[in-house]
Structure 1
Amino acid sequence: MSPSVEQVARTDTGLASILRVSVARLSRRLRSERHPENELLPVGQLSVLGALFRNGECSVGELAALERVQPPSMTRTVNCLEEGGYVVRRPHETDRRQVVIALSQRGEETLAADRRRRDAWLAQRLRELTPEERQVLRQAAPLIERLAHA
């Protein structure tokens, strides 16, 4: 008989393994809940829309750093998003040599619809947990967020 999750998670290494697998599975499950209209938009492009929502207007270089990709890759992604009407390019307010990328109305609406659908799915799953289990997740959420940004 294999050890339980609780037994494996007793060590830091075991906890790391359990969290890695669990977070990856949850991430895949949430990706499968994408809004039907957004299924043609690759996850990487949707991630860039989210970065623009969280950080506001950014240069291609800033977006590349936020998304941990090379600037030429981000340029291609931004070009696709611009062609689809999800983002717009604007001159930088103080340095006219630079261009910043901003969410368009379509980009904002697309991101909002996608988030509503995924949040609804996750909220339903959370309602299936006990109040105590939800409290544990409330306490863990900030820690998981910190790990994600380390």
Structure 2
Amino acid sequence: MTYAKDMASGTTLVQDSLASELRVSVGRFVRRLRSERGEADLPDAQFGVLTSLLRHGDQTPGALAQHERVKPPSMTRTVNALTELGMVEKVEHPTDGRLVLVRVTDTGRREVEETRRRRDAWLTGQLDGLRAKDRELLERASALLADLASG
């Protein structure tokens, strides 16, 4: 890569635009990985709701909408679609009778497990084709990307 100094700001500019290249390649990687899906072939939004429920427990549709950063009507449609598929169920809120909680069913849990298994299998196959030093580089890059994502 070629570096140049921006005299006005004093920052180093990467003329090959590392930020842009990384954004594009990570985006492509994520899209390819997400194409590996379970039997139900759920859209990303529905799969995201299932994983959120498994990670954080039962939630109201409103809390799910906030967590997934979507509007409540969109979450209502997503929850209804998952309910029709038998992936989630709506149960009474224990302290507020006006609310419902969304809970993952065994069917939803199996779908998440199968999707994760397929994604791991695809990625493992890709990694197996790399040289050891490239896998080590990706191991270091994985830690760096985790740090970037949490910052």
Query: Are 1:71 and 2:49 an aligned pair?
Result: no
Query: For residues 96 and 74 of structure 1, what CA distance do their matches in structure 2 show?
Result: 20
Say if 1:8 and 1:129 are closer, same or farther in 2 by CA, change over 3 A. Answer: farther
Preserved contact between residue 88 and residue 103 of structure 2 (Cα < 8 Å): yes
Shift of 1:110: 0.7
Cα deviation digits, residues 12-31 of structure 1 (max 9, x gap): 98221111111111122112
Preserved contact between residue 91 and residue 102 of structure 2 (Cα < 8 Å): yes
Partner in structure 1 of residue 26 of structure 2? 23
Preserved contact between residue 56 and residue 102 of structure 1 (Cα < 8 Å): yes
Partner of 2:98: helix, strand, or coil?
Answer: coil
Pairwise mapping of residues 1-150 of structure 1 onto structure 2 (< 5 A)? 7=1, 11=14, 14-35=17-38, 37-39=39-41, 41-148=42-149
The percentage of aligned residue pairs carrying the same residue is 46
Say if 1:141 and 1:17 are closer, same or farther in 2 by CA, change over 3 A. Answer: same
Shift of 1:70: 0.6
Say if 1:141 and 1:94 are closer, same or farther in 2 by CA, change over 3 A. Answer: farther
Stretches of structure 2 that go unaligned for 5 or more consecutive residues are 4-12
Query: For residues 66 and 13 of structure 1, what CA distance do their matches in structure 2 show?
Result: 35
Query: For residues 13 and 105 of structure 1, what CA distance do their matches in structure 2 show?
Result: 48
Q: Which structure dedicates a bigger proportion of its chain to helix? A: 1
The TM-score normalised by the length of structure 2 is 0.81
Stretches of structure 1 that go unaligned for 5 or more consecutive residues are 1-6
The TM-score normalised by the length of structure 1 is 0.81
Partner of 1:38: helix, strand, or coil?
Answer: coil
What value does the CA root-mean-square deviation take over the aligned residues? 2.4
The higher radius of gyration belongs to: 2
